């Protein structure tokens, strides 16, 4: 079957109409997706730069989750320290009462004192968060950046009565006063240790919280940068669509006018 031959005017108008149709398709895609760069074919430089920013943002989002878990771990440990410190203060009161009592009366305080020591041990073991217990000698490593090069290690310690060098009431009944006095010194030393560790945890918590806020800002910056490279101006694209629709209508009319020259030959018959 022979090819259809078009006049020069019709062919030019047809090419213009086809170009307008392609532009309409592109504009419709931009309006539907909200992006002017939807693939590497649209703009390779902007597309791959935007993808790099999006990928890094996703990696940092994962690290941010780890930071949030780290904050909860530190907070649970600090809560444990606060509770243990309160029990030690109660133990100091019992020791003072035992010291003021006579030798026969001291034995009555042993059970109370040892019960507090047992509760200190229980609190120490119950202060973990998702398998990490800083009060039971475990360490916590929090990673800040996407390649793992930036990190913070929070060192734990043993907050049991043994770890704090508290010996317990033992056989206070009938013992000399210096035994209880020595235990009071151990309690004072344990309080100092807990305060020091609490300060260390507070410092680490501040670092992790600061890095968490910084990561939030970085994620926002990366996402904004990606959007700047790929997002379309919806007002501009809407105006383009109106103009292209008008151009399409005019092109169709022009094509019709071009065909009239060929139709004129029919009038000869």
Place of tokens 């020259």: 261
214 occurs within a structural domain: yes
List the Cα angle 161/163/169 in 5-degree steps.
Answer: 30
User: Which pLDDT value is given to residue 85?
Assistant: 96
What is the arithmetic mean of pLDDT over 95-119?
A: 85
The residue to which tokens 């043993």 are assigned: 158
Query: Is 212 among the domain residues?
Result: yes
pLDDT at 254: 73
pLDDT for 182 equals 87
Per the prediction, the chain carries an average pLDDT of 86
What is the domain extent for residue 215?
44-229
Number of domains in the chain: 1
Percent of the chain whose predicted confidence (pLDDT) is above 90: 49
CATH number at residue 204: 1.20.1330.10
pLDDT, position 30: 79
Does position 10 have pLDDT exceeding 80, yes or no?
no
Does the pLDDT at position 1 exceed 50? no
pLDDT in tens, 130-176: 999 999 999 999 999 988 899 999 999 999 999 998 876 665 655 66
Asked if residue 108 is part of any domain, the answer here is yes
Q: What is the pLDDT of residue 215?
A: 94
pLDDT digits (tens, 9 = 90+) for 30-63: 788 888 888 888 889 999 999 999 999 999 999 9
Please tell me which residue, 269 or 227, carries the higher pLDDT value: 227
Residue 249 buriedness (CB in 10 A; 0-12 / 13-18 / 19+): exposed
pTM of this structure: 0.77
Assigned domain for 259 exists:
no
What span, in angstroms and rounded, lies between the C-alpha atoms of 53 and 225?
A: 7
Domain contains 265: no
In a domain, 181, yes or no: yes
Note whether residue 11 is domain-resident: no
Phi, psi values for residue 137, rounded to 5°: 90, 0
């Amino acid at each position: 079957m022979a090819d259809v031959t078009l006049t020069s005017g019709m062919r030019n108008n047809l090419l213009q109409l086809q170009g307008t149709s392609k532009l309409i398709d592109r504009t419709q895609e931009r309006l539907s997706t909200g992006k002017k760069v939807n693939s590497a074919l649209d703009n390779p430089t902007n597309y791959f730069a935007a993808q790099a920013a999006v990928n890094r943002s996703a990696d940092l989002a994962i690290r941010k989750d780890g930071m949030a878990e780290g904050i909860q771990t530190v907070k649970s440990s600090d809560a444990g320290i606060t509770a243990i410190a309160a029990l030690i203060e109660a133990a100091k009161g019992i020791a003072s009462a035992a010291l003021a009592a006579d030798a026969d009366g001291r034995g009555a305080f042993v059970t109370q004192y040892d019960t507090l020591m047992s509760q200190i041990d229980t609190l120490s073991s119950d202060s973990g968060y998702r398998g990490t217990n800083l009060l039971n000698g475990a360490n916590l490593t929090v990673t800040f950046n996407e390649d793992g090069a930036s990190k913070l290690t929070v060192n734990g310690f043993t907050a049991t009565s043994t770890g704090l060098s508290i010996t317990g009431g033992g056989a206070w009944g009938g013992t000399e006063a210096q035994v209880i006095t020595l235990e009071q010194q151990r309690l004072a030393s344990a309080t100092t240790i807990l305060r020091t560790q609490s300060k260390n945890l507070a410092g680490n918590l501040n670092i992790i919280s600061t890095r968490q806020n910084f990561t939030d800002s970085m994620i926002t910056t990366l996402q904004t940068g990606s959007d700047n490279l790929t997002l379309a101006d919806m007002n501009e694209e809407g105006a383009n669509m109106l103009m292209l629709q008008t151009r399409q209508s005019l092109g169709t009319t022009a094509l019709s006018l071009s065909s009239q020259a060929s139709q004129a030959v029919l009038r000869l018959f």
